């Protein structure tokens, strides 16, 4: 009965909380769709990579045959270097929690029957017209003409100027790069840049620039700083696929992010995405969090599954684990009286399960973090290195409009 209640909540919200509250299943498409009324996020668009995998049978590449897996495992066991040993230890700490979450997912047959149907709902990818020029915004932001580019927002209007689809709209033309572009309305707004259309969610804004301009986001007063800072840096991993999707940066560049200056006086919850490379975990522990003034308190594991509930790769596969980490901590502001109270607010490690979308696209977990935000509510939220927008959030990066492109949506 409890499970049925959870299922109806899930169908509405896209979030399924298992009886043990450390484990949560998220359907990104359902979650994102709550931000739109005139548009729907297309499941075929969101899950395109994943369903392409299924069609091409590439899951076989991910889930190596038992023999190959065993050979790799044995090879690893024979010659793990010091860093690999540390990575393996980290994995062994996470493994019982991940296995427990996975076991609960397999028991949730009602939930799995919904996820299986995603495959059918998404239909065929044939005829889908997904953006092909993936680095359009990044490339335009780099060239000398960038300051001249403008975006046209089609703002809903009460008096009559132009008629589109029965409603009236007024164009607002503003610089696209190095400028805070705001949709302050309570409805989504369509926007146009060159021949590309974008959908901006209600009460959202973006600032599209290179890392060198990120200081422009620092608030004049700490009391108007951000209390939730979500960061998904372009870590260097040397993969050719990553290079074709977006540029990466060496670790030392992230030290320059002004996290303390961006934080609210009453402190900020900082959430940092990181892959499983030991090199990055060490850098964060020893250099990055200390430089930002962040104290690491908890880790959320994002466990990636297919629509049938199976893991996208073997849990023990050394260089291709089916999970990534979100490290959570607080940056203590000038006005924080009692650091201990903040530390105790954040629950210890958790597992978030979802079916992955496009390359490196993270599940929408903003609302799962809101309750742990310090200071006045609702908190002011910023996403650094964002590729999409959310109501109530400022999205910063060199392509925060990427997944807002109209081909990722269907009109209701």
Q: Site map for ligand SAM, 217-256, x if CB under 6 A?
A: ---------------x-x-----------xx-x-------
Neighbour count for residue 5 (Cβ, 10 Å): 9
DSSP label at 392? T
Does residue 138 bind ligand SAM (CB under 6 A)? yes
- Between CA 141 and CA 17, with CA 379 as vertex, the angle to 5 degrees is 100
**Backbone angles phi and psi of 342, in degrees to 5:** -60, -50
* 3-state SS, residue 241: helix
Does residue 211 bind ligand SAM (CB under 6 A)? yes
Does residue 198 bind ligand SAM (CB under 6 A)? no
Residues 146-175 interacting with ligand SAM (rule: CB under 6 A)? none
Tokens describing residue 84: 């690999």
- For residues 3 and 249, which CB has a smaller minimum distance to ligand SAM in the complex? 249
DSSP label at 235? -
Q: Site map for ligand SAM, 366-385, x if CB under 6 A?
A: -------------------x
Pick one of 361, 367, 406, 407: the residue that binds ligand SAM (CB under 6 A): 361
Pick one of 260, 281, 306, 387: the residue that binds ligand SAM (CB under 6 A): 387
Does residue 266 bind ligand SAM (CB under 6 A)? no
Contact call for residues 357 and 28 (beta carbons, < 8 A) = yes
Pick one of 140, 306, 362, 380: the residue that binds ligand SAM (CB under 6 A): 362
Q: Which residues, in sequence order, are CB contacts of 43 under 8 Å at separation 6+?
A: 29, 118, 121, 122
CB of 61 to ligand SAM, least distance (A): 22
> Could you tell me which of 314, 265, 271, 255 has the C-alpha nearest to residue 95?
314
The Cβ-side half-sphere exposure at 281, using a 13 Å CA radius, reads 17
CB of 79 to ligand SAM, least distance (A): 31
Which stretches of the chain bind ligand SAM, using CB under 6 A? 138, 210-211, 232, 234, 246-247, 249, 360-362, 385, 387, 397-399
């Amino acid at each position: 009965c409890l499970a049925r209640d959870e299922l109806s909540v899930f169908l509405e919200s896209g979030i399924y909380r298992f009886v043990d509250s450390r484990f949560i299943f998220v359907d990104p498409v359902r979650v994102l769709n709550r931000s739109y009324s005139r548009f729907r996020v297309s499941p075929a668009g969101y899950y395109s990579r994943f369903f392409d995998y299924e069609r091409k049978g590439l899951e076989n590449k991910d889930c190596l045959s038992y023999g190959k897996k065993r050979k790799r495992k044995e090879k690893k066991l024979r010659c793990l270097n010091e860093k690999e040993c540390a990575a393996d230890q980290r994995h062994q700490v996470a493994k019982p929690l991940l296995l427990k979450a996975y076991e609960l997912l397999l028991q949730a047959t009602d939930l799995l029957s919904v996820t299986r149907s995603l495959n059918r709902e998404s239909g065929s990818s044939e005829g889908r017209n997904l953006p092909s020029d993936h680095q359009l915004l990044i490339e335009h932001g780099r060239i000398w003409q960038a300051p001249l580019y403008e975006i046209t927002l089609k703002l809903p209007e009460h008096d009559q100027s132009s008629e589109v689809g029965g409603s009236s709209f007024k164009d607002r033309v503003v610089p696209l790069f190095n400028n805070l572009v705001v949709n302050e309305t309570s409805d989504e707004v369509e926007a146009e840049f060159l021949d590309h259309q974008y959908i901006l969610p209600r009460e959202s804004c973006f600032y599209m620039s290179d890392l060198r301009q990120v200081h422009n986001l620092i608030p004049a007063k700490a009391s108007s700083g951000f209390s939730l800072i979500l960061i998904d840096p372009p870590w260097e991993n040397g993969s050719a696929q990553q290079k074709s999707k977006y540029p990466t940066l060496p670790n030392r560049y992230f030290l320059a992010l002004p996290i303390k200056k961006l934080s609210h006086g009453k402190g900020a919850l900082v959430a940092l995405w990181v892959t499983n490379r030991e090199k990055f975990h060490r850098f964060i522990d020893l250099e990055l969090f200390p430089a930002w003034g962040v104290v690491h308190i908890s880790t959320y594991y994002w466990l990636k599954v297919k629509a049938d509930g199976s893991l996208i790769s073997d849990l023990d596969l050394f260089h291709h684990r089916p999970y990534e980490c979100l490290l959570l901590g607080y940056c203590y502001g000038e006005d924080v009286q009692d650091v201990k109270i903040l530390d105790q607010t954040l629950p210890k490690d958790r597992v978030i399960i979802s079916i992955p979308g496009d390359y490196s696209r993270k599940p929408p977990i903003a609302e799962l973090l809101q309750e742990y935000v310090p200071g006045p509510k609702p908190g002011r939220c910023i996403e650094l290195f964002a590729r999409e927008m959310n109501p109530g959030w400022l999205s910063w990066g060199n392509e925060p409009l990427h997944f807002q492109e109209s081909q990722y949506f269907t009109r209701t």
